[in-house]
């Protein structure tokens, strides 16, 4: 008897993967924006491409695995099977390639005005070819390993994401011989030709130009550059549930599998040889729908590499103007920071405000005789990490330093393994969390004994302890001396060391046990207020919204009369404006210079309850990860967060508004000031180190006065 498949109400939801593709399309559209400097537009094309690479490796890879299972699995937002989702994905991606090629051609054309030429094989001059041939023969050909494919030379493994030249060769009567040239990763991405103007040729194009010289016995019929994307969604617990070896060593072994899993995509550029493509697909086990043609090189020129070759004046015209993250006024730069933070909470908004206060706090704690211990969770770190440096100093100074290192931060696993080894060498205690739950929380606890009394300084953030991304991502970082939050943090680290997910906390909401029930309760409170005719509101900012029960609860709130304002950068599976379902729901997405990464959850109108969190409203965050949401208790900091969110909701330049059909539109601009919220934050700012003086206008009042003046 066949198992009956449960179908879901999809009248107000959309498929997660298709929603993500629309997000990545918005990233690509930033490359079309004339207000964005040219090299930054090129960067957005690169971000679009790397996003798509990861999407195929993880999401398409996961769906591919699910499609092989015998038991049916239906997506609860679209009622689609994995195979049906894959079909929709492959069809939706194809026009994005065409759009990317068109945008890239436009950017390259405009770069020529600044004497920057990205060369292609069809526009090389004879003099260029002579120089390139000499360079090829001296620097490239000696390190290449061309081979043919026949019974004695089996089809080689094509590494995940690597570039290869694939040719169809002829020898006598044999005209379907396949030749393959892997392009070594140690070769430069491209070369700059000597002299002026600035001219760049991608390495794969150089090798493609002289492929004939690599197969001297054969006649080349066709040639193309190809890249295979493989499923990288490895199961890190697949080896053995009861590990007898060190978990770090286990991770090293499992990660080696990532480059050899099943192919999920074939990209090619060059001659469109149907026979050769068919032979390749057959070898790789791919369908026609999984191959994508790029008319331009698959790997794009690096905006940074181009910028380095330019005169300073030209570089400034083609890139974003540099900025300095602000250090909060009246906040000590050196000793005295701990004392200050014990008396007053500090809220930082990266990258507009600097990460330095937190780094200075760690440095002071490492050398403070009153500090007993430092405990921290780490998910991603910079390649050169001051955080690690200060933790190691603390351990070497005799402090108890505990680091909960998440080794399964996707694509940062190797980096985290190396940092874990460095921390252990310095005397830090390194633990690795849980087998089945990633620890995604961002929390640091400093414990002091002063005059016989224990006190805490707790930092909780929405982003990683990564100095580099703190200048690229928008994130909140709260540093507080609140004793209840400190005791919760101490309890949290104790529970992590004991593998206890069922801890009880006074202030913090901690997934996977209390966060989701906490959100549902807070929404229910707003529903009750609305039904009583009292003011109510739900205002949330996050990266993604996919969790079905949370979506249904937001729909219930909308139907009860609660205004639901959502700021969702990426995936959003709820559709606003559906009659009788989501009429009171609005969804805004911001894609701009900085990656919108902060998560904020606000409930209520008068004295709202506000939390910052490391978690999105996704099933994985709420049920399969250890996440933390921390309440904002200081009334001034609450006001500042609401001001920030209000400015974002008034953005008319980078904002896009989700429509009932899943598409996105620009906000209505009639009689409104052209506002880019991120640029506004760069130019205006707010004080977080001291109470706001009455005569100093708030961030929001500054904006409203500007808008009022514009209307007049």
Burial (0-12, 13-18, 19+ Cβ within 10 Å), 712: exposed
d(CA 85, CA 172): 46
**Beta-carbon neighbour count of residue 393 at 10 Å?**
17
Q: List, in order, residues 6 or more apart from 77 with CB less than 8 Å away.
A: 8, 10, 13, 14, 15, 16, 546, 548, 551, 573
Burial degree of 123 (CB within 10 A; 0-12, 13-18, 19+): exposed
User: Is 475 within 8 Å of 678 (Cβ atoms)?
Assistant: no
Q: Which two tokens stand for residue 87?
A: 């079909």
Q: Which residue among 250, 340, 440, 650 is the active-site one?
A: 440
Q: Which residues contact 2 (CB under 8 A, 6 or more apart)?
A: none
Clarify whether 440 is annotated catalytic.
Answer: yes
Cα(661)–Cα(23) distance, rounded to whole angstroms? 14
194/309 Cα distance (integer angstroms)? 11
Rounded Cα gap, residues 67 and 622, in angstroms: 25
Rounded distance between C-alpha atoms, residue 77 and residue 75, angstroms: 6
Task: DSSP letter for 238, please.
Answer: S
C-alpha angle 428/402/469, rounded to 5°? Answer: 95
DSSP 288: G
Whether cis (ω within 30° of 0) applies to the bond prior to 670 is no
Q: Which are the contacts of 415, defined by CB distance < 8 A and separation ≥ 6?
A: 380, 381, 383
CA dist 395 and 400 (Å) reads 6
User: Which residues are known catalytic residues?
Assistant: 440
């Amino acid at each position: 008897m066949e198992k009956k498949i449960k179908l879901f109400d999809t009248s107000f939801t959309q498929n997660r993967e298709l929603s993500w593709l629309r997000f990545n399309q918005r990233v690509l559209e930033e490359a079309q924006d004339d207000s964005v400097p040219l090299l930054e537009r090129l960067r957005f094309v690169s971000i679009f491409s790397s996003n798509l690479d990861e999407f195929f490796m993880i999401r398409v890879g996961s769906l591919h695995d699910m499609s092989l299972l015998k038991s049916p699995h239906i997506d609860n937002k679209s009622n689609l099977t994995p195979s049906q989702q894959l079909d929709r994905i492959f069809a939706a991606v194809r026009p994005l390639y065409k759009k990317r090629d068109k945008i890239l051609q436009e950017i390259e054309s405009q770069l020529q005005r600044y004497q920057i030429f990205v060369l292609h094989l069809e526009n090389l001059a004879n003099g260029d070819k002579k120089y390139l041939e000499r360079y090829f023969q001296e620097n490239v050909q000696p390190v290449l390993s061309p081979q043919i494919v026949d019974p004695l030379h089996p089809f080689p493994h094509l590494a995940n994401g690597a570039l290869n030249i694939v040719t169809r060769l002829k020898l006598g009567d044999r005209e379907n011989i396949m030749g393959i040239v892997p392009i070594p990763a140690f070769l430069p991405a491209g070369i700059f030709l000597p002299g002026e103007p600035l001219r760049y040729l991608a390495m794969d194009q150089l090798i493609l130009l002289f492929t004939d010289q690599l197969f001297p016995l054969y006649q080349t019929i066709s040639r193309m550059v190809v890249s295979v994307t493989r499923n990288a969604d490895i199961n890190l617990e697949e080896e053995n549930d009861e590990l007898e070896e060190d978990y770090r060593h286990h991770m090293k072994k499992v990660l080696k599998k990532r480059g050899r899993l099943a192919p999920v995509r074939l990209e090619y550029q060059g001659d469109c040889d149907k026979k050769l493509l068919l032979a390749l697909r057959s070898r790789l086990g791919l369908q026609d729908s999984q191959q994508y043609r790029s008319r331009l090189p698959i790997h794009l020129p690096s905006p940074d590499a181009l910028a380095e070759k330019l005169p300073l004046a030209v570089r400034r015209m083609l890139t974003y103007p540099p900025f300095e993250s602000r250090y909060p006024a009246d906040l000590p730069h050196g000793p005295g920071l701990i004392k200050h933070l014990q008396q007053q909470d500090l809220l930082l908004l990266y990258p507009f405000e600097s990460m330095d206060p937190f780094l200075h706090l760690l440095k002071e704690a490492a050398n403070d005789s009153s500090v007993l211990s430092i405990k921290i969770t780490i998910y991603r770190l910079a390649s050169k990490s001051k955080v690690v440096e200060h933790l190691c100093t603390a351990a070497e100074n005799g402090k108890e330093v505990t680091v909960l290192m998440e080794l399964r931060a996707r694509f940062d696993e190797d980096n985290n393994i190396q940092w874990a080894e460095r921390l252990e060498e310095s005397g830090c205690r390194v633990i690795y969390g849980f087998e089945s739950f990633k620890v995604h929380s961002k929390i640091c606890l400093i414990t002091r004994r002063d005059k016989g009394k224990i006190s805490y300084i707790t930092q909780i953030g929405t982003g990683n302890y990564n100095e580099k991304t703190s200048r690229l991502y928008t994130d909140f970082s709260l540093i507080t001396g609140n004793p209840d939050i400190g005791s919760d943090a101490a309890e949290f680290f104790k529970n992590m060391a004991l593998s206890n997910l069922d801890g009880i906390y006074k202030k913090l909401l901690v997934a996977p046990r209390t966060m989701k029930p906490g959100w549902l309760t807070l929404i229910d409170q707003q529903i009750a207020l609305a039904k009583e005719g009292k003011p109510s509101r739900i205002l949330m900012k996050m990266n993604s919204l996919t969790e079905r029960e949370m979506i249904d609860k937001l729909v219930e709130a909308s139907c009860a009369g609660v205004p639901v304002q959502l700021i969702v950068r990426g995936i959003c599976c709820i559709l606003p404006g559906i009659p009788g379902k989501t009429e009171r729901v609005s969804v805004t997405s911001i894609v701009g210079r900085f990656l919108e990464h902060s998560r904020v959850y606000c409930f209520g109108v008068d004295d709202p309850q506000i939390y910052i969190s490391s978690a999105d409203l996704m099933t994985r965050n709420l049920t399969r990860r250890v996440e933390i949401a921390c309440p904002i208790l200081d009334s001034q900091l609450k006001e500042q967060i609401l001001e920030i969110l209000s400015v974002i909701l008034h953005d008319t330049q980078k904002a896009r508004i989700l429509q009932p059909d899943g598409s996105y539109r620009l906000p209505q601009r009639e009689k409104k000031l052209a506002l880019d919220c991120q640029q506004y934050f760069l130019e205006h700012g707010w004080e977080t180190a001291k109470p706001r003086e009455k005569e100093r206008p708030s961030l929001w009042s500054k904006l409203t006065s500007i808008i009022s003046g514009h209307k007049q």
